[in-house]
């Protein structure tokens, strides 16, 4: 997902409604057919969005739904307390308030996510940048934006914010789990934290003995085993257009994490020009290429989440080149005059059969 996708700005409330409608469609797609097993479904709110879990329960197995919900909610509460930028005393908020140049000890969870974030930042040449939040705010898409009339920031304002960001200013000590900020950057993990939370819930379910389930938070998904039909989970890649629930491609998936990033719903227009909510950390401006959406499959949903954002910033040519060079399973939908053209990496090919 994108850098500003957990913020309740003037556009985010509308987007949340659109997402809920989209996910309702996805659940209907994954649940079609003759059901051969019972399933437990849990849902609720977390990280400024919603979570949904479908757990397939074999015959003669009893599940304590109240206990399971309690475990899930406790895990999500703890993760929110770690990664939220909206909770003043969250661990990430404390890190953002830490003095420049002073090592700050963090939990293993936060440190692991920072390590992965910086790995993908270097891999993508800065297309993925966890310090870009102030630029997202400047363009009116972030939680720190003031709302009001849509407008294009001045060149001077963009340059000022560009000087205040930079993932390379975040230094990690692998021996002590300490983080040092070399300038006053603010870290925002909204483009990876939901994927990480999906992975954590999947681990919780696996440790509880579950073998077949789907976990989803804010559109990031982990699929394990089989669906209630006894076959792989059937997941739709949505057609990038205003119609909710339009299917471009349906995939049969098991034991994989999935994330999709796109710019076709959250944007504004000024004087006939369209400005996407996806901000390029290198230029400080919204992306202008023709990539409408990117879907990434990976063992880790957190990895898929961050890579989808990176490729959405990079664009179709650079993004597909990165996917081929690194063996990533990536599916792109690119805007053309005739509609949308699909391109995908070699690693994605097996999922299309």
CATH number, domain of 125, equals 1.10.3980.10
Which is more confident, 30 or 321? 321
**Residue 88 resides in a domain:** no
Angle subtended by helix axes 65-83 and 193-207, to nearest 10: 150
What does the mean pLDDT of the chain come to?
A: 85
pLDDT at residue 18 is higher than 50 = no
Same domain, 273 and 176: no
Average pLDDT over residues 10-21: 37
Provide the pLDDT for residue 22: 40
**Residue 103 resides in a domain:** yes
Same domain, 132 and 197: no
Poorest-pLDDT segment among 26-30, 74-78, 103-107, 109-113: 26-30
Tokens coding 173:
């000590």
Provide the pLDDT for residue 272: 62
Any idea what the Cα angle at residue 75 is, between residues 71 and 81, rounded to 5°? Answer: 145
Provide the pLDDT for residue 238: 82
Provide the pLDDT for residue 243: 52
Contact 47, 218 (CB under 8 A): yes
**Residues making up the chain, counted from first to last:** 353
Buried b (16+ CB within 10 A) or exposed e, 288-311: ebebbbbbbbbebbbbbbbbbbbb
Same domain, 100 and 79: no
Domain final residue, candidates 120, 148, 181? 181
Same domain, 344 and 259: yes
Contacts of 92-98 with CB under 8 Å at 24 or more apart are 92/187, 92/189, 95/179, 95/181, 95/187, 96/186, 96/187, 98/179, 98/181
Average pLDDT over residues 46-58: 93
How far CA 325 is from CA of 55, 58, 217, 328, 346, in Å, comes to 36, 41, 29, 8, 10
Q: What is the pTM of this model?
A: 0.86
Same domain, 67 and 212: yes
Contact 158, 285 (CB under 8 A): yes
pLDDT band (50, 70, 90) for residue 148? low
**How many other C-beta atoms are found inside a 10 Å radius of the C-beta of residue 163?**
10
Same domain, 157 and 33: no
Average pLDDT over residues 192-218: 96
Quick one: what percent of the chain has pLDDT higher than 90?
Answer: 67
In the chain, the number of structural domains is: 2
Contact 311, 294 (CB under 8 A): yes
pLDDT at residue 199 is higher than 60 = yes
pLDDT at residue 81 is higher than 60 = yes
Provide the pLDDT for residue 239: 75
Domain final residue, candidates 149, 181, 213? 181
pLDDT at residue 65 is higher than 50 = yes
pLDDT at residue 244 is higher than 70 = no
- Single out the residue of 272, 338, 283, 330 nearest to residue 306, CA to CA: 330
Same domain, 150 and 264: no
pLDDT band (50, 70, 90) for residue 32? very low
pLDDT band (50, 70, 90) for residue 149? low
Domain final residue, candidates 152, 181, 210? 181
pLDDT at residue 245 is higher than 80 = no
Same domain, 278 and 201: yes
Provide the pLDDT for residue 163: 94
pLDDT at residue 182 is higher than 90 = yes
For residues 78 and 301, give the distance between their C-alpha atoms in angstroms, rounded to a whole number.
19
Average pLDDT over residues 154-176: 95
Structural domain for 51, as ranges: 12-83+192-352
**Residue 89 resides in a domain:** no
Contacts of 243-250 with CB under 8 Å at 24 or more apart are 244/18, 244/21, 244/22, 244/25, 245/21, 245/22, 245/25, 247/29, 248/333, 248/340, 248/342, 249/331, 249/342, 249/352, 250/29
Same domain, 71 and 214: yes
**Residue 270 resides in a domain:** yes
Q: What is the domain-level CATH number for residue 225? A: 3.10.520.10
Average pLDDT over residues 85-105: 96
pLDDT at residue 160 is higher than 60 = yes
**Residue 6 resides in a domain:** no
Sign of CA dihedral 113, 114, 115, 120: positive
Same domain, 204 and 342: yes
Which is more confident, 90 or 19? 90
Quick one: what percent of the chain has pLDDT higher than 70?
Answer: 82
Contact 158, 100 (CB under 8 A): no
Same domain, 148 and 47: no
pLDDT at residue 2 is higher than 90 = no
């Amino acid at each position: 997902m994108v850098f500003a996708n957990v913020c309740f700005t003037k556009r985010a409330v509308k987007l949340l409604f659109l997402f809920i409608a989209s996910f309702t469609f996805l659940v209907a797609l994954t649940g079609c057919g003759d059901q051969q097993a019972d399933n437990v479904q849990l849902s609720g709110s977390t990280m400024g969005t919603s979570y949904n879990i479908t757990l397939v329960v074999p015959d003669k197995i009893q599940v304590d739904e109240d206990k399971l919900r309690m475990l899930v909610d406790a895990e999500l509460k703890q993760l929110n307390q770690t990664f939220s930028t909206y909770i003043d005393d969250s661990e990430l908020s404390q890190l953002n308030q830490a003095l420049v140049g002073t090592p700050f000890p963090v939990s293993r969870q936060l440190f692991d996510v920072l390590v992965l974030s910086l790995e993908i930042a270097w891999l993508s040449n800065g297309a993925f940048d966890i310090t870009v939040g102030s630029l997202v705010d400047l363009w009116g898409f972030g939680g720190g934006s003031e709302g009001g009339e849509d407008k294009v920031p001045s060149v001077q304002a963009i340059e000022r914010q560009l000087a205040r960001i930079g993932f390379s200013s975040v230094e990690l000590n692998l021996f002590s789990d300490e983080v040092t900020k070399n300038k006053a950057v603010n870290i925002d993990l909204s483009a990876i934290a939901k994927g990480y939370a999906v992975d954590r819930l999947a681990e919780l379910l696996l440790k509880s003995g579950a073998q077949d389930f789907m976990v989803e938070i804010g559109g990031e998904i982990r699929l394990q085993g089989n669906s209630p039909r006894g076959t792989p989970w059937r997941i739709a890649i949505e057609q990038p257009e205003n119609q909710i629930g339009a299917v471009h491609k349906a995939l049969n998936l098991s034991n994989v994490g999935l994330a999709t990033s796109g710019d076709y719903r959250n944007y504004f227009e000024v004087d006939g020009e369209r400005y996407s909510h996806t901000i390029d950390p290198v230029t400080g401006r919204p992306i202008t290429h023709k990539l409408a959406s990117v879907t990434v499959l990976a063992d880790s949903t957190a990895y898929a989440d961050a890579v989808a954002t990176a490729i959405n910033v990079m664009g179709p040519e650079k993004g597909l080149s990165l996917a081929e060079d690194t063996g990533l399973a990536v599916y792109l939908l690119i805007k053309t005059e005739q509609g949308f053209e699909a391109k995908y990496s070699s690693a994605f090919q097996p999922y299309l059969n």
